[in-house]
Amino acid sequence: AQKVTQAQTEISVVEKEDVTLDCVYETRDTTYYLFWYKQPPSGELVFLIRRNSFDEQNEISGRYSWNFQKSTSSFNFTITASQVVDSAVYFCALSEEPGSARQLTFGSGTQLTVLP
């Protein structure tokens, strides 16, 4: 069975600090997909990134970067120079079905608070 663990329940940082959100996953499949979603106070989850298991290149998008390490089954998410608008719950998720997000398994989420 697949499992996603986000050990950090809550993190608080001061604006402009860098912050890393941890995600550790378990799966028996050799092909799988990892996701990060952001859930702002409005409640609507917003897709941030999808990573295929066969692509271990790290990715950077503006202030966001992701570090995928198959050896440690981790897919960590770093926000550089955090801003108040980054405050949200962030979910890491895993899917074993190629090409779609069917039956995503979500972690329990990390509540990030960025203080001005």
8 Å CB contact between 24 and 2: no
Question: In whole angstroms, what separates CA 59 from the centre of its chain?
Answer: 12
Q: Which residues pair with 37 in a beta bridge?
A: 47, 91
Which H or E run includes 57? none
Q: Is 108 in the site for other proteins (CB under 8 A)?
A: yes
- Cα(46)–Cα(3) distance, rounded to whole angstroms? 21
Restricted to residues 35-54, the positions that interact with other proteins (CB under 8 A) are 35, 37, 42-47, 50
Q: Is 82 in the site for other proteins (CB under 8 A)?
A: no
Number of residues engaging other proteins in binding (CB under 8 A) = 25
Q: Is 30 in the site for other proteins (CB under 8 A)?
A: no
Q: Closer to other proteins by CB, 16 or 52: give it.
A: 52
Give the interface with other proteins as residue ranges (CB under 8 A): 4, 33, 35, 37, 42-47, 50, 91, 93, 95, 99-109
